[in-house]
Structure 1
Amino acid sequence: MNHKHTKTTTEFSNKKINMHLNRKLSAAIIAAFLFTLLFCFMPGIKESIPNFSIKKTSPHFIDLFPLCLLFFTPFFLIMGTLGTVIVDLLVSAFVKDRSKKIDFIMSFIFHAIFGLLMFEFGMMGVILIFIVDRILSIRKENYSYLSPLGCLVLSAIIGTLVYFIFTIV
């Protein structure tokens, strides 16, 4: 009888961890897409990167959007997901009361520390992933493995469409 209850609790815990990880992966993909949009539309980005050798006539790099998306997405998936999971573990270790306000503040502080390690572009990416993850956690949706996969496919489709539009024009 007790063994059955333990098995049910373990299955529930594993399901909760999987949903949490799927939400983190979805947040990383969405944040990578938003970061790529900001990166491509920021005026003066060419001047802020030393030795940036691509010469473009337009001040924006929207035609580089698919390439940047291919570059940023794996970085966000690996570093962003790993970083947010580590931040959640640190917050749960430091905050025993788990009030939402303290949890939010501590999580933001730890995210900011991780962002400072990667300088200004890293800070912008960390803030994006923090905001997207908080929005997704507020929705309280059951995230399956299809959620991050759907975000990734949608991001790839949009990146491909942008590439085709700018090669035709």
Structure 2
Amino acid sequence: MSPTPPGNFVVISGCSGGGKSTLLAELARRGFAVVEEPGRRVIAEEQPSSGTALPWIDLAAFARRAIDLSLRDRDEASGQDGWVFFDRGLIDAAIALEHASGEPAIKAYGSAHRYHRHVFLTPPWPRIYVHDAERRHDLDAAIAEYDRLLAVYPSLGYDVTILPKVSVVDWADFLLSALNQGER
């Protein structure tokens, strides 16, 4: 499997519970292609069967499943025209795997499988952070993860923009304006 060129693949990452999925829903409503967060899909597959590849049981196994799903997502999105927005993705999963196991996943996946150079991060936003069946960690753990993302993306050569704490409509406008001012 050869790596997919990054041209139109845009990562929206950041703090867990920071509003990424809400932003992706707004972009989809506007007609853009979006790819749902791999981690939430892994959880949705594991929970009904009492699987253990869950972040609160076996983070490394969970991250490996998210990596596999992210690679598949990239392959499936490779024929899309226009912007394709990813709710997290391969690099986030590689960061989680390296954090959980020490395996050198970030450089391996982050160098070979690029996204658009501009990455958008949702910051910690305690006012909107909530626990749910798929998000069992507390805000402190979410902020620690955010700090890892904030360190790794620039180290891989990505330009990181922290999204302002505004309405979802304004978020989408801000993000699209930033992308349209730059080049593919």
- Give your verdict on TM over 0.5: no
| Higher-Rg member (1/2) | 1
TM-score (norm 1): 0.34
| Structure showing the higher strand proportion among its residues | 2
State the structure with bigger RCO (CA 8 A, min sep 6), 1 or 2: 1
